[in-house]
Amino acid sequence: MDFALPGEHEMTRNVVRDFCEAEVEPIAQEIEEEHRFPEEIFEELADLDLMGVPVPEEYGGAGGDYLMYALVAEELGRVSGSVGLSYVAHTSLGLMPIIKFGTEEQKEEWARPLAEGEGIGAWALTEPGSGSDASDMDTMAEKDGDEYVLNGTKQFITNASEANSVLVKAVTEPGAGYDGISTFIVDPEDDDGFEVSTIWDKMGLNASPTCELQLNDVRIPEDRLLGEEGEGWEQTKKTLDGGRISIAALSTGLGQGAFEAAREYATEREQFGSPISKFDAVRDMIVSMDRKIERARLLTHKAAVKYDDGEDVTRISSLAKLDASEICREVAEDAVQVLGGYGYTTDFAPQRFYRDAKLMEIGEGTSEIQHLVLGRELGL
């Protein structure tokens, strides 16, 4: 990155980069093959005060902004998509909604442990039948005295098997559509009836658990309602603005990692007496990778800065997520091509970046949904 960052941001990025190269990169392929969530990495991130980067210091966070958080997400993605995905799901989905919409008591009880790295957060929106229409929700929350009783199934929930708290979306007013959805804080350890029924084997990102949840008569006190009844969908839209910036940053990092692997290989690998980087086809491919990644990074940083300034970022965050995720997949695919047969083996990183990249075009709203969002923002 050539342009100057604010001093504290540059320092944070460098600290994370050094940590990633020393601690994450050496085990990145190993944890994928073992399908193992690397608890030790997240404990070390907590020691570095990085588990609550955009959270105010009064609630246990680092007091940073979304640009700083995006830099951390990019550096993690540069070496491990799985670590990066679990990190951003924890921060932007599991933690920040409590900071933005919770009471002081909820922030103290539920947000502080997450921000200080004493636990992992998760967010449960998607259901088996909902697909891209996330508002098509069957999970119900019925009021019973001073409690709510939750029943339903949630699908493709990142971190759920490791989480200390899960923000669950449920219908509190059937027939009210978007206005009938609410958000609840669920404790996986202590709330009876909460079950992780499946941890999915996936094409990639297997060190980041993706789960199916069953909620069977889960009783929670009414003070676990986040905000007011019926505010769940507005909370969701605001959360996704930040979540899309997270995925854009993670995508940029994945692309950067794939690019660096391809460039290193191309400058060292010789054919016909010359490094393959001297051949026009390979050189042009690597130059194109660099151009695309820089575009994604600039768009992501623009979205993060606007978010920090309190502007409406629905359009720019969607644009950043769409562009960065597609660029990420393109760059990772080209990186495999540069390495040829070696790029298809697990001895080299591009195959992992390529498999991880595909989810970036699906999670936090598919590319098709981003086009829908952008069309609406343009009045189309």
pLDDT digits (tens, 9 = 90+) for 161-187: 999 999 999 999 999 989 999 999 999
pLDDT of residue 109: 97
Distance from C-alpha of 361 to C-alpha of 137, rounded to nearest angstrom: 23
Percent of the chain residues topping a pLDDT of 90: 92
Beta bridge partners of 147: 144, 221
Q: Where in the chain is the domain with CATH 2.40.110.10?
A: 122-230
Tell me the CATH architecture of domain 233-377.
Answer: Up-down Bundle (1.20)
Average pLDDT, the chain: 95
Higher pLDDT, 273 or 125: 125
pLDDT in tens, 351-378: 999 999 999 999 888 999 999 999 999 9
What is the homologous superfamily of the domain 122-230 according to CATH?
Butyryl-CoA Dehydrogenase, subunit A, domain 2 (2.40.110.10)
CB under 8 Å to 356, separation ≥6 — which residues? 81, 82, 85, 204, 205, 254, 332
Q: Where in the chain is the domain with CATH 1.20.140.10?
A: 233-377
Q: 19: which 2 tokens?
A: 């940590």
Q: Where in the chain is the domain with CATH 1.10.540.10?
A: 7-120
- Angstrom CA distances, 369 to 66, 131, 319, 361, stand at 23, 11, 11, 10
Q: Which helix (H) or strand (E) holds 122?
A: strand 121-124
- Angstrom CA distances, 205 to 83, 92, 162, 200, 267, stand at 8, 18, 15, 10, 28
Name the residue with tokens 């393109």: 330
Determine the CATH number of domain 7-120.
1.10.540.10
Span 244-257, average pLDDT: 98
Enzyme catalytic residues: 364
